[in-house]
């Protein structure tokens, strides 16, 4: 599971490395968060299709997914691009994907979004998780959750709430990889934040000068994305297909040079 892929540096890094990473680590399913893909905000159909063709199986997202006009009609027809399941009823797209991984096992990917310090336009992620899990067939044992949230407490709470019922809960959104990866007692792998895949030479993917200017004075133009120091941040999760319990979770934080 790959953390927030930001702008062209992150896009190119995943395009160039995903097949190598899949082969090196025997990856059966590759999931990435795409909400910052297009210049740092939302997606374009062309960029998503390139990444699907390169080896990404499922994309999750978050609060920026609908920032570009073309995202809504695309997400409505592309089931492998998810938006948070707790967006209001009638929002284009879905927060759940169920399919078959390369090893033949059935897999579910759930996309949720927190409410603490986030735009107050969506429902409880805890209620949405209960609804989605209640609708899953018991034969779908491998269940992966992207909890896109600002507050670490909300991400940790979701992991404990779902422990033993899903294979993994990984946090996204804050763009800084945490060092708390573990498997909870019920068999759910957890990390508070996967980190950011993209340029680490600025402020969480954006040019540092523009971000600093916004802190020092009146609101200025939205900063452009930064370009140097590209890294791929992700987590490898080993799951027992028979039980859906995670055996191990390990972080990846890899430098990338095009």
SS3 letters across 123-158: CCHHHHHHHHHHCCCCCCCEEEEEEECCCHHHHHHH
Alpha-carbon distance of 186 to 29, in angstroms, equals 22
Cα atoms in the 13 Å half-sphere on the side-chain side of 188: 22
Tokens describing residue 126: 């805890």
- Asked if 122 contacts 87 with a C-beta cutoff of 8 angstroms, the reply is yes
Q: Is 64 a catalytic residue?
A: yes
**Which is catalytic among the residues 64, 148, 200, 256?**
64
Q: Which helix (H) or strand (E) holds 29?
A: none
- Adjacency order of strands within the sheet including 230-239: 198-199, 230-239, 246-255
Q: 115 CB contacts (<8 Å, ≥6 apart)? A: 122, 124, 125, 149, 154
Helical ranges in the chain per DSSP H = 7-25, 45-54, 71-77, 125-134, 152-162, 208-216
Catalytic residue IDs: 64
């Amino acid at each position: 599971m790959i953390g927030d892929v930001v702008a062209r540096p992150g896009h190119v890094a995943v395009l160039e490395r995903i097949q190598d990473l899949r082969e090196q680590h025997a990856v059966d399913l590759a999931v990435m968060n795409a909400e910052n893909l297009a210049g740092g905000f939302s997606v374009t159909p062309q960029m998503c299709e390139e990444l699907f063709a390169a080896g990404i199986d499922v994309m999750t997202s978050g609060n920026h997914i609908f920032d570009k006009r073309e995202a809504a009609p695309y997400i409505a027809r592309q089931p492998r691009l998810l938006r948070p399941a707790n967006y209001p009823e009638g929002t284009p797209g879905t927060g759940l994907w169920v399919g078959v991984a390369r090893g033949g096992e059935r897999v579910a990917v759930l996309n949720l979004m927190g409410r603490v310090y986030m735009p107050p336009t969506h429902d409880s992620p805890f209620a949405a998780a209960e609804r989605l899990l209640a609708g899953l067939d018991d034969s779908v044992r491998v269940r992966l959750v992207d909890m896109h949230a600002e507050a670490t407490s909300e991400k940790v709470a979701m992991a404990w709430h779902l422990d033993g019922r899903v294979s993994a809960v990984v946090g996204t959104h804050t763009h800084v990889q945490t060092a708390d990866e573990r498997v909870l007692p019920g068999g759910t792998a957890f990390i508070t934040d996967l980190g950011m895949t993209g340029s680490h030479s600025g402020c969480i993917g954006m040019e540092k000068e523009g971000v600093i200017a916004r802190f020092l004075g009146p609101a200025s133009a939205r900063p452009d994305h930064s370009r140097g120091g590209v890294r791929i941040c992700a987590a490898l999760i080993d799951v027992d297909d028979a039980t859906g319990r995670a055996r191990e979770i390990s972080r990846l934080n890899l430098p990338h040079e095009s």
